[in-house]
Amino acid sequence: MPVFQYEAMDAKGKPTKGTLEVANQSEALTRLKEMGYFPTKVVESDKGKDKDKGKDAKKDGKDGKAGGKGAKKGGLQINLKIPGLGGKVGTKTLCNFTRQLATLVDAGLPLMRGLIVLQKGEKDPTLREILGKLASGIEGGSTFSESLAQHPKVFNKLFVNMVKAGELGGVLEVTLTRLAEFAEKAEKIKGKVKAALFYPMAVMTVAVGIVALLMIVVVPKFEEIFKDMLGDQGLPEFTMLVLNISRFIQHNFLATAGIVAAMVISFKLFLKTKFGARMFDKFSLKIPVFGEVIQKVAISRFTRTLGTLISSGVPILQSLNIVRETSSNIMFAEAVQSIHDSVKEGETIVGPLEASKIFPPMVVSMVDVGEQTGALPEMLMKVADNYEEEVDNAVSAMTSLLEPIMIVFLAVVVGSIVIAMFLPLIKLMDSLGGGEDDKGGGKGKKGKD
């Protein structure tokens, strides 16, 4: 039977160590709880593993011949990759995990036991696999932050450094709760922005579909009617423009799709360059409707991230580096780098914050007050709360403004095509009316003569 070494605290808080010979780790934890101990570490000892190895060696010796036969049959091994494993974990799933782990640790459950409990109930295959690895890493003697750092695709530097600060300060449950609150508020803002952008994207999709249907199906039929009715008479220039575009799309569909794809790919490649990304981020802050929302979201993210890191015990310079790396806008990243250099030289945050010209005076003044009073994290959190409310108002205003703009846009696009198709009919009616007038005038002159 395996032997487990444990480290625990008794009811008076006195540390104690010992060994237990039980079937598994879960039974060891149950036994310690019955003894009135609060376990902090339970790992299988090397003696227990050596016993198991001895038993396995004997078993392998007995089954050697059978294994030789089986080796031929099992020579070809097929590794199946299950979809979902090894990928990324959704923000909402990670947020729920952090909140649940914070609750379990705060309730007094050992960290490794909490990870095992969450692993059993986790539905996401990627996170379930990672939780098992985290528990194994902690069992092997690694710290929680070191185990998290092994999965950079799921746990970013913000997450790892906050957990590390919580471990060093002995307030891991507090840090996890802050991380959960941070993730929930960040997801809330992202959800509101996505909801606001859904309407214009839906209208644009419908507009593209309607225009494609008109240009490929409806307009060519009108062209045949115009040939029968007008013959060699010239069509209006606007009608000819729409007909030429329709012919090009109809006869060069693949070329049209290729041009659109090339434009999209070129734009994405341009954004990947340092110059292109900087120009786009700078322009995005000045867009009439969206710029205000983007700026307020970035300020809210900056202040909340920095405030959460500093309040969790992460050093200011390290916090600024993390904020810079997690910033989604280059203009804000450059401003944070200036703040970092200023603080490194022993100066204040306020100077470069004001010089960047992207932070409003209210933010600068509140940060200044926070530095002078020694309550910088609290001030940053207040700014974040304030700007989250402003983001709500800005998103609502943007949505109410975009609705009529998109309706007018759709009406102009479709209406232009309809007008282009009716212009020849109007010209034909005018020519028929003019012809009848000429005939009437001719008869009048003949009567007089």
pLDDT at residue 269 in the model = 92
State the Cα angle at 78 between 77 and 83, rounded to 5°. Answer: 150
- Using an 8 Å Cβ cutoff, are 16 and 49 in contact? no
Cβ-based burial of 89 (10 A; exposed 0-12, middle 13-18, buried ≥19):
buried
309-320 pLDDT, tens digit each = 888 788 888 888
List Cβ<8 Å contacts ≥24 apart for 29-35: 29/110, 29/113, 32/6, 32/8
Beta bridge partners, 7, equal: 17, 41
Question: Using one digit for the tens of pLDDT, what is the confidence trace for 75-107?
Answer: 333 333 333 344 577 878 888 888 888 888 888
Whether the Cβ atoms of residue 298 and residue 332 lie closer than 8 Å to each other: yes
Give dist(CA 32, CA 8) in Å, integer: 8
- Per-residue exposure over 48-63, b if at least 16 CB sit within 10 Å of its own CB, e if not: beeeeeeeeeeeeeee
Q: Which residues contact 96 (CB under 8 A, 6 or more apart)?
A: none
Which pLDDT band, with edges at 50, 70 and 90, does 74 fall under? very low
Residue 446 clears pLDDT 70, i.e. is over it: no
Smallest Cα–Cα separation from 306: which of 381, 247, 359, 374? 381
Tell the residue number behind the tokens 């194994």, with chain if given.
136
- Over residues 217-243, mean pLDDT: 77
| Euclidean distance between CA atoms 60 and 362, whole angstroms | 74
Q: What is the DSSP string of 60-93?
A: HHHTHHHHHHHHHHT-S------TTTTS---HHH
Q: Where are the domains of the chain?
A: 1-52, 91-155, 174-432
So what's the pLDDT on residue 65?
A: 42
What pLDDT, in 10s, does the model give residues 244-294? 888 888 787 788 788 889 999 999 999 888 888 889 988 888 888 788 888
* pTM over cut 0.95: no
Give residues with Cβ within 8 angstroms of 185, minimum separation 6: 304, 384, 388
Q: Decide: helix, strand or coil at residue 8.
A: strand
Q: How many angstroms separate the CA atoms of 228 and 70, rounded?
A: 82
Report the CATH number of the 174-432 domain: 1.20.81.30
Q: How far is CA 8 from the centre of its chain?
A: 40
Residues in the chain: 449
Tokens linked to 174: 């507090």
Distance CA(306)–CA(297), nearest Å, equals 14
Compute the mean pLDDT over every residue in the chain, rounded to the nearest whole number.
78
**179 pLDDT band (50/70/90 cuts)?**
confident
